[in-house]
């Protein structure tokens, strides 16, 4: 979706608007993916689509409608539906009117090579990886996906924003009869993705995890590789609504400006970080944690600084009501890393477990932020500074706050594909609670 095309569609919607306020979001992308398993391609998908979302408001009543029909009639119908819904809705007492044109960060995240990547290109990379595993008598499964698109926003105060982006992500799971290993490679620029290297790591993990032993549930010193740590942080984000905390409805109640984690933990966002760029503004329909105003710039925010919770997520309404700075929701995350390599972290552990990644994390109790989930694709015993053998997977019941409080070492941060664009280091954590095992 080119800038001119996006601007023309948004202008058309705004010109048709009769409501007091109108906000428009247009997101569109070309997605392509190839999936594979048992060392062969199983599926190819290509999809191009875009969605126009219109929010109309009369005073405090608002309505929203969406369409992917960009004909004149389609756009008009969408605007009329939003207005009709607004007229029949109860007032939203927290609604605030559209904002005038702000300045946006110039966030470079679009690489033409990603959009130009073909099914043949994906197949060639996958074939190389399949051959590597086939020769070793192992099975490779995974996906290679690309996305090239843009976000655009506009409103009745004359605001316009446009942000093009691209993403490429290769995922590999290597399986033996009784073990598996996982690794990913991702970048906004597909030429920086290295499928064979990721497959090599997954293969090495699967090999090392053969003949897994069972260990008893209990508290263990763990090294959480970046994908595992990032997933815990992602779920923790869901509890970071300042309003809910102030009303005693989440696990961060009463914790602002207090030491909540180890001083080794610093968590911030920076939309224009070159290693994990995020959108410079958020669309109104990204409001899955706090209400968001279409086109508000994403500020750079320090969330946790050396263990102190500096701020939670403040919507425009809650920021105004409390006199706090607006934070909105982050569009990327950077958990500050250290200098230690993963190998150095392992070498520092006398007895513990190395966790490649987690699976199916869910809240058990939002008020204490107790999560449960499983280890997956590479759980290893560490003995006297060395990875000695694979371990059968385990279920944990643990809080991310306890995890970050018990963090005693932080390794080098890398980009992971878990949730928001992020840089996350491996974490060495004491007393991580596993509560049961499984059969593999």
Partner 1 sequence: MIADTKDGIMIEGRGSFSIDQMRCNFQFGGNAFWEVKDGKITQMLKNVTYQSMTTEFWNSCDAVADERFWVQDGIMNCGKGDPMQISQMTHGAAPARFRNITVRRGRA
| Ramachandran area for residue 145 (φ above 0: left; ψ -120 to 50: alpha; else beta) | beta
**Does 369 sit near partner 1 (CB under 8 A)?**
yes
Choose the stretch contacting partner 1; rule: CB under 8 A; options: 118-126, 317-325, 380-388, 395-403: 395-403
In sequence order, which ranges of 151-237 are alpha helices (DSSP H)?
195-208, 226-237
- Owner of token pair 């508000």: 296
**DSSP-derived 3-state class of residue 131:** helix
Place of tokens 């594909």: 417
326 binds partner 1 (CB under 8 A): no
Q: How far apart are CA 342 and CA 128, in angstroms?
A: 27
Taking a C-beta distance cutoff of 8 angstroms, is the pair 401, 262 a contact? no
Site for partner 1 in 31-90 (CB under 8 A): 31, 33, 35
Q: Pick one of 48, 68, 101, 435: the residue that binds partner 1 (CB under 8 A).
A: 435
Choosing from 271, 373, 378, 421, the residue that interacts with partner 1 (CB under 8 A) is: 373
Q: Please, which residues have CB within 8 angstroms of residue 292's CB and are 6 or more apart in sequence?
A: 282, 283, 284, 286, 315, 328, 329
Residue with smaller CB distance to partner 1, 34 or 61: 34
Which window, 55-63, 186-194, 233-241, 361-369, contacts partner 1 (CB under 8 A)? 361-369
Question: Judged by CB under 8 A, which of 26, 145, 222, 428 binds partner 1?
Answer: 145
- Residue 209 is a binding residue for partner 1 (CB under 8 A): no
* Site membership for partner 1, residue 378 (CB under 8 A): no
Of 22, 295, 14, 67, nearest to 162 (Cα)? 295
Q: Which residue's entry shows tokens 């970071």?
A: 240
Element (H, E) at 395: strand 394-398
Q: Which strand ranges, in their side-by-side order, compose the sheet holding 301-305?
A: 308-309, 301-305, 267-269, 333-335, 422-424, 414-416
Give the residue with the Cβ less far from partner 1, 257 or 439.
Answer: 439
Which residue matches tokens 């999560």?
Answer: 371
Site string for partner 1, 89-128 (x = CB under 8 A): ----------------------------------------
Q: Which of 222, 374, 391, 420 binds partner 1 (CB under 8 A)?
A: 374
Residue where the block lists tokens 């491996």: 426
> Of 222-230, 304-312, 321-329, 366-374, which part binds partner 1 (CB under 8 A)?
366-374
Name the β-bridge partners of 147: 31, 167
Site for partner 1 contains 363 (CB under 8 A): yes
Count of H helices and E strands in the chain? Answer: 10, 19
Q: Tokens for 288, please give them.
A: 């899955």
Q: How many CA atoms lie within 13 A of 271 on its CB side?
A: 21
The token pair that represents 216 in the structure block: 């008893």
Cβ nearer to partner 1, comparing 238 with 360: 360
Q: Closest distance between partner 1 and the C-beta of residue 143, in Å?
A: 6
Q: Indicate whether 402 belongs to the interface with partner 1 (CB under 8 A).
A: yes
User: Considering beta carbons, is residue 298 or 394 the nearer one to partner 1?
Assistant: 394
Q: Does 255 bind partner 1 (CB under 8 A)?
A: no
Q: Pick from 154, 295, 411, 437 the residue near partner 1 by CB under 8 A.
A: 437
Straight-line distance from the first to the last Cα atom of the chain, in angstroms, rounded to the nearest whole number: 46
State the minimum distance, in angstroms, from the CB of residue 240 to partner 1.
17
Does position 228 interact with partner 1 (CB under 8 A)? The reply is no
Task: Give yes or no for residue 21 binding partner 1 (CB under 8 A).
Answer: no
Backbone φ, ψ for residue 249 (5° rounding): -110, 5
Residue 35 CB, shortest distance to partner 1, in Å, is 7
CB-wise, 12 or 35, nearer to partner 1? 35
Least separation, in Å, of the C-beta of 83 and partner 1? 27
Helix (H, G, I), strand (E, B) or coil at 405: helix
Q: Is 409 in the site for partner 1 (CB under 8 A)?
A: no
For residue 438, the minimal CB distance to partner 1 (Å) is: 4
**Residue of 294, 353, 370, 428 interacting with partner 1 (CB under 8 A):** 370
Query: Would you tell me which residues interact with partner 1 (CB under 8 A)?
Result: 31, 33, 35, 143, 145, 171, 359-365, 367-370, 372-374, 376, 393, 395, 397-399, 402, 435-440
């Amino acid at each position: 979706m080119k800038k001119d095309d996006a601007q023309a569609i948004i202008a058309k919607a705004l010109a048709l608007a009769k409501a007091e306020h109108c906000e428009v979001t247009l997101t569109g992308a070309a997605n392509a993916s190839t999936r594979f398993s048992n060392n062969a391609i199983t599926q190819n998908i290509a999809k191009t689509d875009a969605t126009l979302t219109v929010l109309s408001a009369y005073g405090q009543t608002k309505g929203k409608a969406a369409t992917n029909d960009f004909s004149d009639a389609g756009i008009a119908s969408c605007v009329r539906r939003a207005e009709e819904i607004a007229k029949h809705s109860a007032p939203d007492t927290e609604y605030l009117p559209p904002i005038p044109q702000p300045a946006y960060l110039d966030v470079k995240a679009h690489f033409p090579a990603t959009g130009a990547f073909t099914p043949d290109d994906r197949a060639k990379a996958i074939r190389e990886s399949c051959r590597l595993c086939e020769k070793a008598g192992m099975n490779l499964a995974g996906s290679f996906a690309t996305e090239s698109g843009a976000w655009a926003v506009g409103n009745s105060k004359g605001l316009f924003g446009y942000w093009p982006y691209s993403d490429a992500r290769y995922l590999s799971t290597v399986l033996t009869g009784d073990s598996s290993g996982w690794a990913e490679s991702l970048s906004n620029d597909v030429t920086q993705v290295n499928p064979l290297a990721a497959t090599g790591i997954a293969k090495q993990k699967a090999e090392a995890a053969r003949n897994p032993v069972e260990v008893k549930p209990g508290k263990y010193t763990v090294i959480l590789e970046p994908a595992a740590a990032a997933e815990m942080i992602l779920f923790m984000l869901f509890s970071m609504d300042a309003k809910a905390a102030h009303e005693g409805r989440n696990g961060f109640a009463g914790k602002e400006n207090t030491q909540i984690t180890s001083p080794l933990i610093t968590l911030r966002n920076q939309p224009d970080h070159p290693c994990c760029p995020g959108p410079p503004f958020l669309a109104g329909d990204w409001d899955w944690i706090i209400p968001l105003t279409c086109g508000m710039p994403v500020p750079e925010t320090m969330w946790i600084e050396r263990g102190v919770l500096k701020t939670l997520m403040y919507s425009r309404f809650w920021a105004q009501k409390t006199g706090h700075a607006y934070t909105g929701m982050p569009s990327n995350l950077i958990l500050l890393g250290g200098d230690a390599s993963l190998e150095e972290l392992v070498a520092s552990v006398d007895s513990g477990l190395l966790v490649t990644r987690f699976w199916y994390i869910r809240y058990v109790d939002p008020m204490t932020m107790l999560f449960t989930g499983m280890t997956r694709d590479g759980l290893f015993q560490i003995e006297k500074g060395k990875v000695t053998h694979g371990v059968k997977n385990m279920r944990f019941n643990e809080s991310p706050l306890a995890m970050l409080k018990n963090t005693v070492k932080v390794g080098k941060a890398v980009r992971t594909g878990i949730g928001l664009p992020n840089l996350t280091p491996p974490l060495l954590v004491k007393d991580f609670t596993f509560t049961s095992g499984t059969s593999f």
